[in-house]
């Protein structure tokens, strides 16, 4: 079964990315953090035995220059559910049976979790979710033509995963869950020890956080 890993990403422009961190970060810092997380995510994906795609929003030139050699596909102009549905359909049309989609908000996500998603699909699961601590998911994987699963989901709310699981149950899909992880959405998330761990495989993100003077033992209210 051909494996495809899709990364959903935007051009890192001030005021358009990481807006939940501004303030206390400036819009320029928010964009720089997003760029670091994006490039770390792409670099780590390259080490996996899969075909990697960036489904991008914004400047194609930026992604060609920043991620040379990675296949680029523009995101569909729609809500997240529509973009996911179109992305899975596009990869299906290219002959990929096992398809995983991630974002850029978990630059230190263990690569073993992505491997596990492919393993679960190749073992018979129709859909695999990577639960995020906020009630959403940091990863979703699909085998087969089930893109309609993502329609009418209350995106950005705490019930995203719960509603998606119910939809999968109603469709009688074989579903698997990965270990829970976190997204970097708010300023407090920058204080997570894993992001400052020298072995996390995300050196650009780690360097950005270090430049803010954030250490693993600090509290957010001390900055």
Q: What is the DSSP letter of 132?
A: B
Write the pLDDT tens digit of every residue in 99-154: 999 999 999 999 999 999 999 999 999 999 999 999 999 999 999 888 789 988 99
- pTM check: above 0.85: yes
d(CA 33, CA 91): 29
Indicate if the pLDDT at residue 79 is higher than 60: yes
Indicate if the pLDDT at residue 220 is higher than 90: no
- If you search the block for the tokens 């990315």, which residue do you land on? 17
Is the CA virtual torsion 148, 151, 154, 156 positive or negative?
A: positive
d(CA 27, CA 20): 10
d(CA 56, CA 65): 13
Write the pLDDT tens digit of every residue in 140-198: 999 988 878 998 899 988 999 999 999 999 999 999 999 999 999 999 999 999 999 99
d(CA 76, CA 100): 17
């Amino acid at each position: 079964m051909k494996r495809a890993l899709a990364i959903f990403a935007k051009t890192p422009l001030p005021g358009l990315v990481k807006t939940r961190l501004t303030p206390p970060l400036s819009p320029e810092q928010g964009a720089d953090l997003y760029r670091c997380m994006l490039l770390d995510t792409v670099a780590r994906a390259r080490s996996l035995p899969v075909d990697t795609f960036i489904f991008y929003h914004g400047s194609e030139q930026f992604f060609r220059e920043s991620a040379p050699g990675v296949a680029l596909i523009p995101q569909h102009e729609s809500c997240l559910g529509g973009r996911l549905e179109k992305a899975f359909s596009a990869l299906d049309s290219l002959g990929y049976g096992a398809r995983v989609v991630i974002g850029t908000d978990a630059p230190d996500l263990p690569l073993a979790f992505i491997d596990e998603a492919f393993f679960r699909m190749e073992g018979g699961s129709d859909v695999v979710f990577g639960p995020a601590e906020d009630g959403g998911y940091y990863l979703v994987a699909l085998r087969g033509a089930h893109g309609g699963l993502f329609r009418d989901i209350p995106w950005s709310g705490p019930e995203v995963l719960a509603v998606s699981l119910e939809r999968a149950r109603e469709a009688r899909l074989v579903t698997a869950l990965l270990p829970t992880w976190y997204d970097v959405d708010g300023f407090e998330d920058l204080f997570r020890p894993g992001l400052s761990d020298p072995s996390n495989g995300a050196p650009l993100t780690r360097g950005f956080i270090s430049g803010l003077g954030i250490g693993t033992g600090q509290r957010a209210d001390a900055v």
